[in-house]
Amino acid sequence: MGYNHVEPARKVLSELGFSLASDHQITQARSQAARLVGEGITSAESLIRLQQRTLCSTFIQTAPDGRMAGIVSIIPLRTEGVAHLETGAFDAIQPDPALACGPEDEAAAFYGWGMAGLTWRGRISVVHAALALQQEVFAAVPFFSRAATSEGENVLLNRMGARPHPAPGGLVWAPAHSPDRKAA
């Protein structure tokens, strides 16, 4: 059995004030994210399916007043998932759960599926969460994502060191994290 990413992901994000989202919270988070970036995003049902498969796909942060402040959704990918990404066959709107890692699988990469800050502090926390996932939990594997907004693109390219990938559809990627690597 390889490296289990579930507990490290939960621990690192917990330290940043995020908790694993329940099905109800996922439905709420998806609705909030759609208000920010539009309806052309994955369904709550897909988010829930991936949460059930990975046990560490969607996390939320709650503000002191009880409102949702931040949302982080990732997909730890199996080797087959990376191949789908690199050939343009990966469907981020309705991803195949079989391409995602279960707790028993070693991640070959991770996909930044959706990240949204709903408050000023939430936006900062979401960026910190994304960096912690990239640099701590999944440091040994590459990172892939697509930006839904210009702000997201800025974070991916300038904070996370991602670069355009030749696959179609606006895919970006960064190699496995190295403490010596700096974002351009």
Is it the case that residue 4 has pLDDT exceeding 90?
Answer: no
- The full set of domain ranges for the chain reads 6-174
Condensed to tens digits (0 to 9), the pLDDT of residues 131-176 reads 999 999 999 999 999 988 888 888 898 889 899 999 888 899 999 9
Buried b (16+ CB within 10 A) or exposed e, 43-56: ebebbbbbbebbbb
The pLDDT of 96-117, averaged and rounded, is 93
The pLDDT of 17-43, averaged and rounded, is 93
Is it the case that residue 42 has pLDDT exceeding 80?
Answer: yes
Q: What is the pLDDT of residue 181?
A: 47
**Distance between alpha carbon 26 and the CA centroid of its chain, in Å?**
14
Q: What is the pLDDT of residue 59?
A: 98
Is it the case that residue 184 has pLDDT exceeding 50?
Answer: no
Q: How far apart are the first and last CA of the chain?
A: 36
Which top CATH class is 6-174?
alpha beta
